[in-house]
Chain A
Amino acid sequence: MITAADVTSSYGRRRVLKGVSFTAARGECVGIVGANGCGKSTLLSILAGTLKPKSGTVAYGGRTAWSGGRTGRIRCDREVIRKMTGYVPQEDPLIPELTVYDNLRLWYPDKRVLRRELSQGFLQLMGIGAFAGTRADRLSGGMKKRVSIGIAMAEAPPILLLDEPSAALDLVCKADIRAYLQTYLERRGTVVITTHEESELALCSKIYVMKDGVLQQADNRLRGEELAKLF
């Protein structure tokens, strides 16, 4: 479902990704762990199409999203990225002055789809319907994160990219988010998640460790200090 090959990226002279490669199959959850600032979010931004890599290839379901680089120009097919992926960034992409409904309305293709989702779809499963009329700046961190995931799911993408979704959330919210991800995986969705949470790593069928700009697959049974020793 996801094929990333030899992806490189840098900020100025600092090389952040030094030829990252990995694959993820349909219905698989891939966890990426690593120290703060090691390049996890950079990789996810590239996968989500919000950051241009220096070189490398990224393909979703056999359709190339990023390709080229090194000597030639890097090419991007935004349509593939938009249709194939949903992206949940670390910060919530909400307009604070508008209601949850208006925020969602921006991203959902039409009103009917949104209403259906709120009444019986994924949004209803996440409990967003209960606070759809509330202004976004009055929501708790957990509610905002749920709305962010709801936004990412607007076009029912087969791949979900989550950048530390449980950061600064309470235990109940973390459990809820885990449950939504579990449901998504059961529906044969693919998840790429960067996280420090062991409970979320439990969902992952593959765990990669990012260190010095290089991604290495780790034993997915490793937890806690054993895992931390790798980065």
Chain B
Amino acid sequence: MRRKARYLYIELKKTAGMFPRMLLLAVALMILVGGIAFCGVKAMEREPLAVGADIGVVVREDDRMTRMALDYVENMESAAQICRFRQVSEEEGMNMLADGELAALVLLPEGLVDGIMYGRNPSVDVVFPKNARLEAMLFRELTESGAGLLRVAQAQIYGADDTAARYGLGDELSAVEAGIDGYNLAFALDRLSIYDEETVSATGRLSVAQHYASSGIVLFLLLAGMAAYPVMQPEPAAFRKQLVRAGVGGPWQSLCKWLCGLCYMLLLAAAMLVLLWSVRLCTPEAAERLGELLVSGRRRISAGVCMGMLFLVLTTVTSFHHMIYSVSGSRTGSILFFFPISVAMLYLSGGFVPSALLPQTIRGVGAALPTSCLIRACGGLFTGYGPEAGRLAAQLGMYTAAFGAAAYAAERFRYRRCK
């Protein structure tokens, strides 16, 4: 037992001795990852995101009034934000709709404007594709709300006409209609009042800033394993043999490596918090802005839950590092493994492009990966956890155990082979 304790002590001493070097490597890594993220953000800023729905319009009667009405709709602010109208023939439009090039096809009837002017109400057909995408769904919503508004306005006018005719108020009809028009126009211009306001985000409960901050933290923690090689790479076979001779078996060796890795991660997390604190002291305004961006929509949470979840995140990440080092068996091999595996897992889990925007299959695979869990756990540091905290903690614990078992199995396999 004393030999085991001495081995743990020696390994911890090595970790403490190597920490400054590992921290420097990790900071260099953070600068690299941060640089890539900064470039990505800059690139995204150059191309603002917009929902661009291509809408086909079939004009059966190419007269001046219809064209004016079309121009009017095209230039309406609400339509222009989400729609691009393209005049097409009916056949061409149907083909484009089938190919997914159009979000909807609007078929304008003959005499549309005249019909509206004289109260004939010619119907406008809007064809949507079978598998409506986000753009088509938005356009359908816009169309239905517009149609609803028109129905109400018409009913009001007809009601006013009938009332005026029944009670002999024909002289006042024009004033009443003007009043109804004014009211409806005001209502129509204040378009938002007819919608139920619901914020929908591809990043779920997290804001975009929070989502990318969480993903960045997870990527950094995963890649920080590269810097941990002095303490986490497997011992040389000769050293392991001597340890086994001395009664320090494989499971204890593996556990000691994991503990040293965890110490490194805890020290690294502490160092990063100190760094953030220093930044806050140096540039309080920027820190405040960043804080506002990251902690919006925060639920009431206890610091204990946050610390506990952070600890679980660090244990899971440590186990992941341990597994990679144990499977690869060498420093170079581990470093070669770390980058592609971390980046691929993060991509599949929606760390680079939110999951909601990824294909269904990728989303399914990503949800089963530990990185999804880690992103949610890190996101909770900004927004709180709510009732899912227990489930999340259990998942992280499960991944920690699974990685640990895989690491031990890999070491055992290699040790048998090296004999």
Contacts and interface: CB of A to CB of B under 8 A. Distances in A.
Contacts of A82: 245-247
26 contacts: A45-B241, A48-B241, A49-B244, A50-B245, A51-B419, A78-B245, A81-B245, A82-B246, A87-B242, A87-B245, A89-B241, A89-B242, A91-B238, A93-B236, A93-B238, A93-B239, A95-B10, A95-B239, A97-B17, A97-B230, A98-B13, A98-B17, A102-B10, A106-B3, A106-B7, A107-B242
Contact of A97 (B6, B18, B236, B238): B18
A90 interface: yes
Contact of A90 (B14, B18, B238, B419): B238
B242 A151 contact: yes
B14 A94 contact: no
Contact of A106 (B6, B244, B419): B6
Given A50-B419, A105-B6, A106-B10, A93 B242 contact: yes
Contacts, number: 58
Q: Shortest 5 CB-CB distances between A and B: which pairs? A: A91-B238, A50-B241, A93-B242, A93-B239, A89-B238
Contact of A91 (B18, B230, B237, B244): B237
Contacts of B14: 95, 97-98
B151 to A, nearest CB: 79
A196 B18 CA distance: 39
A162 to B, nearest CB: 13
A50 B249 CA distance: 11
Interface in B191-250: 230, 235-239, 241-242, 244-247
Contacts of A94: 239
Contacts of A45: 241, 419
Interface of B is mostly: helix
Interface string A104-137: 0111010000000000000000000000000000
Contacts of B7: 106
A178 to B, nearest CB: 22
Listed residue (B18, B239, B244, B245) with the most chain A CB atoms within 10 angstroms of its CB: B245
Interface string A46-68: 00111100000000000000000
Contacts of A49: 244-245
A212 B241 CA distance: 26
A92 interface: yes
Interface residues of B, number: 22
Contact of B10 (A91, A92, A105): A105
Contacts of B6: 105-106
Interface in B56-102: none
A50 B17 contact: no
A9 to B, nearest CB: 10
Interface string B1-24: 011001100100110011000000
A78 B246 CA distance: 8
Given A48-B245, A78-B245, A92 B17 contact: no
Nearest to B7: A106
A102 B11 CA distance: 10
Interface string A70-106: 0000000010011000010111111101100010011
Listed residue (B6, B13, B239, B246) with the most chain A CB atoms within 10 angstroms of its CB: B239
Nearest to A48: B245
Interface in A115-172: 151
Nearest to A87: B245
B16 to A, nearest CB: 11
B216 to A, nearest CB: 30
Nearest to B6: A106
B18 to A, nearest CB: 6
Listed residue (B7, B238, B244, B246) with the most chain A CB atoms within 10 angstroms of its CB: B238
Nearest to A108: B6
Nearest to B10: A106
Contact of A78 (B10, B236, B239, B247): B247
A98 B10 contact: yes
A51 B246 CA distance: 14
Contacts of B2: 109
Nearest to B241: A50
Contacts of B245: 48-50, 78, 81-82, 87
A98 B13 CA distance: 9
A206 to B, nearest CB: 25
Nearest to A95: B14
Contact of A92 (B3, B230, B238, B246): B238
Contacts of B230: 97
B260 to A, nearest CB: 11
Contacts of B17: 97-98
Given A82-B245, A90-B238, 10 more contacts: A78-B247, A82-B246, A87-B245, A89-B238, A93-B241, A95-B235, A97-B17, A106-B3, A106-B6, A109-B2
A106 B230 CA distance: 18
A164 to B, nearest CB: 12
A107 B246 contact: yes
